[in-house]
Structure 1
Amino acid sequence: MNYSNFGTKFTQPNGITQLMEDLGSAKSSNNPNIVMLGGGNPALVPQVNEVFLSELQKLVASNKVSQVFGLYDGPTGNDEFRAALASQLSKEYAWDISANNVALGNGSQANFFVLFNMFAGEMPDGSHKKILFPLAPEYVGYADQGLSDDMFVAIKPDIEILNTGSTSKQFKYVIDFKAVEKILANDSSISALCVSRPTNPTGNVITDDEVKHLDLLAKQYNIPLIIDNAYGDPFPGCIYTDANLTWNSNIILCMSLSKLGLPGLRSGIVVANNEIIKAIGRVNGSMVLSPNSIGPSLVTRLINDDELLPLCRNVVLPFYRNKAQIAIELFDEIFADMSVYLHKVEGAFFMWLWFKDAKITSETLYQKLKEQDVYVIPGHNFFIGIDDSWAHKHECIRINYATDEATLRKGLQTIKYLMA
Structure 2
Amino acid sequence: MTETMDQKHSTWANRLRENQGIRSLMEDLGKQTGHPDEILLGGGNPAHIPEAEAIFQETFANLAKEPALRALLGDYQAPIGNDHFREIAAEYLSSHFGTSLRKENIAFFNGSQNAYSYLLNLHSGPMADGSFKKILLPIVPEYIGYADQTITEGVFVANTPMVKQTGKNRFQYELNKTSFDLTDIGVLAISRPTNPTGNVINLSDLEWMEERTKKQNIPILIDLAYGNPFPNLIGKEEPIHFENGRTLSLSFSKIGLPGVRLGIVISDEDTIETLSSFAAVGNLAVGNLGVYMMEQLFQKNLLTQLSENILRPFYEAKRNLALALFTDAFQKLGVEYEIHDPMGGFFLWIRFPSLSITNHQLYHLCKDKRLFIVSGHYFFPGLNTDFSHTKECIRLTYCRKEEELARGAQILAEIVASHQAKSE
TM-score (norm 1): 0.94
Other structure's SS at 2:294 match: helix
User: What is residue 77 of structure 1 aligned with on the other side?
Assistant: 81
Choose from 237, 243, 251 the match for 2:232. 237
1:177 aligns with 2:177: yes
The Cα RMSD (Å) is 1.4
Stretch moving more, 384-393 or 195-204 = 384-393
1:363 aligns with 2:369: no
User: What CA deviation, in whole Å up to 9, does each residue of 1:32-85 have, x standing for no partner?
Assistant: 211000011111111111111111111111132221111111112143332222
User: What is residue 9 of structure 2 aligned with on the other side?
Assistant: 3
Residues 42, 374 of structure 2: 8 Å contact kept: yes
Q: Which runs of 5+ in 1 are unaligned?
A: none
Residues 131, 192 of structure 1: 8 Å contact kept: yes
Other structure's SS at 1:242 match: coil
1:330 aligns with 2:325: yes
Q: Which amino acid aligns with 2:131?
A: S
Residues 160, 171 of structure 1: 8 Å contact kept: yes
Residues 109, 115 of structure 2: 8 Å contact kept: yes
Residues 1:69 and 1:33: Cα distance change in structure 2 (over 3 Å): same
User: What CA deviation, in whole Å up to 9, does each residue of 1:248-303 have, x standing for no partner?
Assistant: 12100011001011111211111001110111111111111111121121121221
Q: Which amino acid aligns with 1:178?
A: T
User: What is residue 382 of structure 2 aligned with on the other side?
Assistant: 385
1:215 & 1:402 partners in 2: Cα distance? Answer: 34
User: What is residue 14 of structure 1 aligned with on the other side?
Assistant: 20
Q: Displacement, 1:214?
A: 2.1
Q: Displacement, 1:24?
A: 1.4
1:374 aligns with 2:366: no
Residues 105, 272 of structure 2: 8 Å contact kept: yes
Residue correspondences, number: 409
Q: Which runs of 5+ in 2 are unaligned?
A: 418-424
Q: Which amino acid aligns with 2:346?
A: F
Q: Displacement, 1:124?
A: 2.6
Stretch moving more, 317-326 or 237-246 = 237-246
User: What is residue 100 of structure 2 aligned with on the other side?
Assistant: 96
Choose from 145, 148, 159 the match for 1:144. 148
1:412 & 1:308 partners in 2: Cα distance? Answer: 33
Residues 125, 134 of structure 2: 8 Å contact kept: yes
2:386 & 2:364 partners in 1: Cα distance? Answer: 21
User: What is residue 211 of structure 1 aligned with on the other side?
Assistant: 206
Stretch moving more, 214-223 or 152-161 = 214-223
Q: Which amino acid aligns with 1:175?
A: L
1:269 aligns with 2:275: no
Residues 80, 300 of structure 1: 8 Å contact kept: no
1:127 aligns with 2:124: no
Residues 199, 205 of structure 1: 8 Å contact kept: yes
For residues 21-420 of structure 1, what are the structure 2 equivalents within 5 Å? Answer: 21-26=27-32, 29-163=33-167, 168-180=168-180, 183-184=181-182, 187=183, 189-336=184-331, 337-387=334-384, 389-420=386-417
TM-score (norm 2): 0.94
Residues 1:24 and 1:178: Cα distance change in structure 2 (over 3 Å): same
User: What CA deviation, in whole Å up to 9, does each residue of 1:288-330 have, x standing for no partner?
Assistant: 1111121121121221122221111111111111111111222
Other structure's SS at 1:162 match: strand
Other structure's SS at 1:159 match: strand
User: What CA deviation, in whole Å up to 9, does each residue of 1:166-214 have, x standing for no partner?
Assistant: xx5210000101211xx22xx2x10011111000000000111112112
1:272 & 1:260 partners in 2: Cα distance? Answer: 22
